[in-house]
Amino acid sequence: MPEEFCRWARGVVLALAVAGPAAPALAADKVVLQLRWDHQFQFAGYYAAQWQGFYRDAGLEVEIRSAVGPDRKAVKAIEEVMAGRADFDIGAADVLVARDRGSPLLILASIFQRSPTVIVARVETGVSSPADLAGLRVLRFVGDTTDVELQTMLRAEGIDPQTIKPYQANWDGRSFDLLRQGRIDAYAGFSLTANWRARETGLDITTLHPASYGIDFYGDSLFTSEAMAKRDSDLVQRFAAASLQGWRHALDHPKQTAERIATTLRRTYPADDILAFNLFQAEEIKRLTSYPLIELGHTNPRRWGAMARALRQAGLVRREMDAAELIFDPARDAIERATFARNVAWLSAAGISGLLLVAFVWTSLLRRRVTAVAGDLRESEARYRSIFDNAQVGIIRSRISDGKPIEANDRLAEILGYQDREDAVDNHRADNHWIEPGDREAWIAEGKKHGFVRNFDGRLRRKDGRWSTSARQRPSMPRRTTSTS
């Protein structure tokens, strides 16, 4: 069986395992999810997983903790996980900074495909670019994920973050109120709250988006510690899968979910119209997740690697980072454990003749397992065909040599404006497919180097010449002379 096919099949099996419900355990495993702020729709998927019984069905008993206590002091999410007071948490670029400083953390799922971080300023300040922040009273929380993006944006524009002094103010958790009262000129915050407060209070604000300056970071992402992942990989997989199931439910039923959040979860920081606030966040979060266009939790190691490089250029991290090691990958971990076990078995057999019997039993069990896996792979091949034909994302396979399509699914034809899959196969050409020059050549080079392509991002052109939305190349493998274009 070709090695490339094995890689592809493992990816299909893993994707099906994440998408499907896990079998309940005999006794529920107790875990703690630490939120990064007060109760609100920003964390709707986790509430929904709890309320809809997805965690229970996965054999989990989950305690969901607000980050804000009765004293209005917020705990630091990463510290809670590293101290063992929480098992799972939500973070973003701050996870990379913490990992660089010695906190071994792993990303499980990237929920927000775009970061909600914005720089908020009063209109009368005249702020229209990062350079305009110089000399203003900018409220900053150094080390916070919003400040990490602020600093990276400033560096990208050739501005030393030290020139934007963190303004000291009597902060009580309400940055927007300080802005409205005129006690500060600007602050780094989240669009999830700032835009709502501006609408609610009638204050005219202007916002700077780091993404407009090339800082295209992921937003809220689910993470855990390496220790947790090594201790119980199965539990981590069950928690991540149930959480994504909860997110799908929350975004498919935003009004129902928002109403339950508003009526059952008590906030430390109240809102005048808590239901309207959560409904506003629901719309904003649908934009940030790109749901349903992009699969919930989609995580691209290359993009995390680009984030790490941007942070390194900004001086916020010191070491180069292997993005693949940052992403939780149970299949990779299982292979490493199996390889280690095999090596130990051979060394032991060579030194102690008494272990030959153990080696024989191990080999027999392994042979049975291989036979079972082979059956699973055949089933996965059939599932692949079903996924290809029925997927809600566009898929096309074409020859590397000249870009001629071999097959395409109906969704691809719809996205790129063809009448049907036959029309796409007959008339689609790879040289007109990619919007950015050199993307296809970069993709082919990646495939030749590694034997497969994983999570390659690129923008596509429709049949009528208009730009389509950003496309994401999923893991693929070459079959004879063909590959995904």
List where CATH 3.30.450.20 sits in the chain: 391-483
Assess whether pLDDT exceeds 60 at residue 102. Answer: yes
CATH of domain 117-213: 3.40.190.10
105 C-beta neighbours (distance < 10 Å), count? 24
CA distance 121 to 208: 8
Mean pLDDT is lowest, of 46-50, 70-74, 285-289, for 70-74
Q: What is the pLDDT of residue 67?
A: 93
User: Which burial class, exposed, middle or buried, applies to 71 when counting CB atoms under 10 A from its CB (0-12, 13-18, 19+)?
Assistant: exposed
Assess whether pLDDT exceeds 50 at residue 401. Answer: yes
> What's the CA dihedral at 50, 52, 57, 61 to 10 degrees?
20
User: Which burial class, exposed, middle or buried, applies to 392 when counting CB atoms under 10 A from its CB (0-12, 13-18, 19+)?
Assistant: exposed
pLDDT in tens, 146-169: 999 999 999 999 999 989 888 766
| CB-based contacts of 385-394 (< 8 A; 24+ apart in sequence) | 387/12, 392/292, 393/295, 393/474, 394/471
Confidence band for 357, pLDDT divided at 50, 70 and 90: low
CA distance 86 to 456: 33
pLDDT in tens, 361-379: 656 676 776 566 556 656 6
pLDDT in tens, 164-206: 888 766 666 678 999 999 999 999 999 999 999 999 999 999 9
List where CATH 3.40.190.10 sits in the chain: 19-110+221-326, 117-213
Tokens of 207: 């916002």
Q: Which CATH number among 3.30.420.40, 1.20.1250.20, 3.30.470.20, 3.30.450.20 corresponds to the domain 391-483?
A: 3.30.450.20
pTM higher than the cut 0.85: no
Q: What is the mean pLDDT of residues 313-332?
A: 87
64 C-beta neighbours (distance < 10 Å), count? 17
> What's the CA dihedral at 431, 433, 437, 439 to 10 degrees?
-110
Q: What is the pLDDT of residue 69?
A: 85
CA distance 90 to 378: 37
CA distance 321 to 307: 10
Confidence band for 248, pLDDT divided at 50, 70 and 90: very high
CA distance 127 to 259: 37
With tokens 């060394």, the residue in question is 347
Tokens of 199: 């609408």
pLDDT-above-90 percentage for the chain = 52
Q: What is the pLDDT of residue 226?
A: 96
252 C-beta neighbours (distance < 10 Å), count? 12
What rounded mean pLDDT belongs to the chain? 81
* R_g of the chain, CA atoms, integer Å: 25
Q: Using an 8 Å Cβ cutoff, are 226 and 108 in contact?
A: no
Q: Please tell me the CATH superfamily of domain 19-110+221-326, with its number.
A: Periplasmic binding protein-like II (3.40.190.10)
- Specify the DSSP class assigned to residue 65: E
Assess whether pLDDT exceeds 50 at residue 24. Answer: no
Confidence band for 336, pLDDT divided at 50, 70 and 90: very low
Q: Using an 8 Å Cβ cutoff, are 302 and 456 in contact?
A: yes
Q: What is the pLDDT of residue 445?
A: 74
Angle made by CA atoms 39, 226, 3, in degrees to the nearest 5:
120
Tokens of 431: 């040289």
What amino acid is encoded at 116 in this protein?
A: P
Of 221, 94, 220, 75, whose CA–CA distance to 145 is shortest? 94
CA distance 99 to 249: 32
Q: Using an 8 Å Cβ cutoff, are 81 and 88 in contact?
A: yes
